[in-house]
Amino acid sequence: MKQNRSHFSYPGLPYSTVNTNLITVNRREPKHKFILNCLQQAESRSVRPVVSRRKVHTAQLSESGNPLMLERKRENELQERLILLREKLLKAGIQLVSYMPGQYDHIKCPKCLGGQSQERSLSLQIDTEGHSAVWKCFRGKCGLTGFVRPYSEVSIGNQALKVNGKVGKQKHPKKISEQELELEPLCTELFAYFKSRGISAETLRRNRVMQKPTKDGPAIAFTYQRDGTLISCKYRQIPKIFWQVEGEIDKLSMEEAGFRNCVSIPDGAPPCISNKEIPAEQEDTKYQYLWNCKDYLKSASRIILATDADGPGQALAEELARRLGKERCWRVNWPMKNDEEVFKDANEVLFYSGKEALREAVENAEMYPIRGLFKFNDFLQDIDKFYNGNVIDLGISTGWDGLDKYYKVMPGELTVVSGVPNSGKSEWIDALMVNLNHSIGWKFVLCSMENMVRDHARKLLEKHLRKPFFDLGYGEDMQRMSRQELEQGKKWLNDSFYLIRCEDDSLPSVNWVLQLAKAAVMRHGVRGLVIDPYNELDHQRASNQTETEYVSRILTQIKRFAQHHSCHVWFVAHPRQLQNWNGGAPSLYDISGSAHFINKCDNGIVIHRNHDPKVGPIDGVTVHVRKVRNKVIGRIGDAQLTYNRATGEYSDYHEQ
């Protein structure tokens, strides 16, 4: 639960946090004392404490049976192991000042050299009997780990331990006793100390927290039991700020708040979330403790992660959740400490706000977020904003009241526009864009393959300035736009529209168009894309893909673009050649290619105009709204508009 990178020492008792937070305590202290004394003597004579092979050899020749000889033999064997360990360590690039049983050292890492700050980031421990040395670099970026035994290969990094050529497991912790460790019940001062941190005597007794006398006063001894047997012990000397860095105090704090099924983790938090895949179990060295306990953890249906509030704490939560399975993880959000800061861990909450606040924080843990899986609560703000009736979310007016009843423009949707050739599809879309630009300032990116740029400019300018571009017949008696108006219009054009055009003869592919449209969204903030028409795109498709599959795929792509960039797309598609056409409006199912056009679009519109003066006014246009997915913005129905040939504008049709 709590990151723990601290290393601490206890006089005369070497231990380490290299592989685990639990300490393997030396059970043969007298012998160590002996060696320690020898080395101290050697040091006092300024002689480097080196153990020699010759001595070992002598010991091997000595007689057995004599207790003194046996003891000497053991000493020599130990020394031989230390010599071999030294050689192996040197081979691994690790050089120590001394090589002592149980020695615990902090040195520069041979791999990362302690990084820029050149810190002594490598923790190394020699086994109390000289049977092994283990090391680990605590720099997050490095994380070098290694293990060596006197008579086997050096194992560095993520390799399994090799013993005599076989892959071996680490031994079970040795059984130890409170007497051997000279542990005693906590004294009044230590009880008082814990009380000041919010931890009661009862919790301390239940967790068998004890003390060990040292020459500097009693040290706190966190005992570790497995199946009721003492297997390890970890010491802390107060004063200092151990409660700030220790998982144990958070674990005890949780018990104060009523949570006894709580564990702290033995290793440090990573500096940031790894962007790599989770390594295989045996290679996942940093999180070995999780794999070791997988049988215990397997049965937990709900795991609450209560890591520190800081960056590494959050990264740790992510790494744990990735391994434990996010679906059964919850995450504690620590409450606010003041207006700016949150509490950083369980003990801080207990200390400042009490048991109830800590309990509440844990009980209010939120489900660990899973990418791609949401609750409606994740969108509450959006829902409220929508309810409050943001104009854009209700659909934007087309500029024609008669049409607004059936169709409004929703950002991020796809409208398919169809109609027979020359029905005015392009004209109507242009007029709609000009309206949207005038009303809410939208900008557009146009992929209109059939239009010459200057023609398209003319059509848009006529609608914008409400005057004909030329002084020709179609303008009837209306005066053309002036040079000054043209200049203003050109500026407007340039600010409001962006063009996607193939500079050679090739046809644009949908991918290419969408990529450029994306750039136009990012760079110019466009809110609408027009692709006119479908049949002018490059439709090369895989030989095993049907046209229906192809259309489905590109429409999905276009819709994804529209949604992701909140950009409305108008996609013009012609109907296939109509046999025995009676002059009526085609259906959206008549679009050549696939029924997917109507299935996949959000809105489907057919533009149709009357060519027969006997039937009705020749300038009349019907906008057939044939599909509207979202009832908020419209419904199926027809709207009548009138086309102004001089300016290309459309207006609501009013019967005379």
Ligand X SMILES: Nc1ncnc2c1ncn2[C@@H]1O[C@H](COP(=O)(O)OP(=O)(O)OP(=O)(O)O)[C@@H](O)[C@H]1O
In the complex, the smallest distance separating the C-beta of residue 649 from ligand X, rounded to whole angstroms, is 11
- Classify residue 10 by its DSSP letter: B
**Residues 446-485 as x/- pattern, contact with ligand X by CB under 6 A:** ----x-----------------------------------
Binding region for ligand X (CB under 6 A) out of 10-18, 36-44, 216-224, 418-426: 418-426
Under 8 Å CB-to-CB from 498, ≥6 apart: which residues? 443, 444, 445, 446, 520, 524, 526
Residue whose tokens read 């991918």: 511
Structure tokens at 389: 């009736």
| Minimum gap (Å) between residue 643 Cβ and ligand X | 3
Token duo for residue 237: 């000397």
The correct pick among 125, 152, 423, 496 for binding ligand X (CB under 6 A) is: 423
Dist. CA 618–CA 630, nearest whole Å: 33
Q: Which stretch binds ligand X (CB under 6 A): 310-318, 422-430, 480-488, 497-505?
A: 422-430
SS3 324: helix
CA distances from 577 to 555, 590, 596 (A): 22, 9, 18
Q: CB within 8 A of 409, min separation 6: which ones?
A: 395, 396, 397, 398, 415, 432, 436, 528, 568, 633
- Residue 212 or 624: the one with the smaller Cβ distance to ligand X is 624
Site string for ligand X, 598-617 (x = CB under 6 A): -----------x--------
Residue 319 within binding range of ligand X, rule CB under 6 A: no
Query: In this chain, which stretch among 37-45, 150-158, 294-302, 424-432 interacts with ligand X, using CB under 6 A?
Result: 424-432
In the numeric block, the tokens 């797309």 are attached to: 569
CA torsion 160-164-168-171 (nearest 10°) is -120
Q: Which of 426, 496, 594, 603 binds ligand X (CB under 6 A)?
A: 426
Is 395 or 528 the residue whose CB approaches ligand X more closely? 528
> Given candidates 129, 284, 538, 619, which one binds ligand X under the rule CB under 6 A?
619
Q: Is residue 106 at the binding interface for ligand X, with CB under 6 A as the rule?
A: no
Q: Is 395 left (phi over 0), alpha (psi -120 to 50) or beta?
A: left
Closest approach of Cβ 604 to ligand X, in Å? Answer: 15
**Contact yes or no for 334/344 (Cβ under 8 A):** yes
Q: Strands (DSSP E) along 259-405, which ranges? A: 303-305, 329-331, 366-367
Burial of 214 (0-12, 13-18, 19+ CB in 10 A): middle
Tokens at residue 272, please?
Answer: 């940031």
- Residue 419 contacts ligand X per CB under 6 A: yes
Residue whose token pair is 């914008």:
464
624 binds ligand X (CB under 6 A): no
Residue 168 vs 617, nearer CB to ligand X: 617
> Nearest to residue 516, comparing CAs of 415, 445, 442, 444?
445
Nearer to ligand X, 30 or 421 (CB): 421
- Spatial distance between the Cα atoms of 293 and 288, rounded to a whole number of angstroms: 9
Site string for ligand X, 572-591 (x = CB under 6 A): --x-----------------
Pairing of strands 528-532, 568-572: parallel
Q: Looking up tokens 């879309």, which residue turns up?
A: 429
Q: How far is the CB of 474 from ligand X (least distance, A)?
A: 8
Under rule CB under 6 A, residue 643 binds ligand X: yes
Question: Is the sign of the CA dihedral 387, 393, 396, 402 positive or negative?
Answer: negative
Stretch that binds ligand X, among 227-235, 238-246, 315-323, 423-431 (CB under 6 A): 423-431
Q: Is 386 helix (H, G, I), strand (E, B) or coil?
A: helix
Backbone torsions φ then ψ of 287, nearest 5 degrees:
-115, 30
127 counts as binding ligand X under rule CB under 6 A? no
Among the listed residues 427, 462, 602, 649, the single contact to ligand X using CB under 6 A:
427
**Cis omega before residue 239 (within 30°)?**
yes
Q: Which stretch binds ligand X (CB under 6 A): 200-208, 273-281, 419-427, 483-491?
A: 419-427
Give the interface segment with ligand X, choosing from 80-88, 321-329, 417-425, 434-442 (CB under 6 A). Answer: 417-425
Tell me, what DSSP letter sits at residue 491?
Answer: H
Residue of 425, 463, 559, 568 that binds ligand X (CB under 6 A): 425
Tokens linked to 341: 């800061």
Q: Report the nearest approach of ligand X to the CB of residue 463 (Å).
A: 11
* Residue 424 in contact with ligand X, rule: CB under 6 A: yes
| Closer to ligand X by Cβ: residue 331 or 459 | 459
Task: Indicate the residue whose CB is closest to ligand X.
Answer: 424
Of 245, 262, 255, nearest to 200 by C-alpha is 255
Q: To the nearest whole angstrom, how small is the minimum distance from the Cβ of residue 559 to ligand X?
A: 23
Residues 287-316 close enough to bind ligand X by CB under 6 A: none
**Among 284-292, 367-375, 415-423, 439-447, which window interacts with ligand X (CB under 6 A)?**
415-423
SS3 184: strand
Q: How far is the CB of 543 from ligand X (least distance, A)?
A: 30
The verdict on 422 binding ligand X (CB under 6 A) reads yes
| Options 421, 473, 584, 613; binder of ligand X; rule CB under 6 A | 421
User: Which residue in 36, 6, 37 sits closest to 23, CA to CA?
Assistant: 6
DSSP state letters, 301-365: S-EEE---SSHHHHHHHHHHHHHH-GGGEEE--PPBSSSS-B--SHHHHHHHH-HHHHHHHHHTP
Q: Tell me whether residue 234 or residue 574 sits nearer to ligand X (CB atom).
A: 574
Which of these ranges, 38-46, 130-138, 169-177, 414-422, lies near ligand X under the rule CB under 6 A? Answer: 414-422
Within 14-33, the residues that bind ligand X by CB under 6 A are: none
Nearer to ligand X, 347 or 622 (CB): 622
Cβ-based nearer residue to ligand X, 51 or 537? 537
Residue closer to ligand X, measured from CB, 535 or 556:
535
Calpha distance 544→522 (Å, rounded): 35
| Dist. CA 491–CA 87, nearest whole Å | 80
Does 174 interact with ligand X (rule: CB under 6 A)? no
Dihedral, 553, 559, 563, 566 alpha carbons, nearest 10: 140
For the segment 540-579, give every residue that binds ligand X (CB under 6 A): 574
Shortest spacing between CB 479 and ligand X, in angstroms: 19
Which positions lie near ligand X, rule CB under 6 A?
419, 421-427, 450, 574, 609, 619, 621, 643, 645
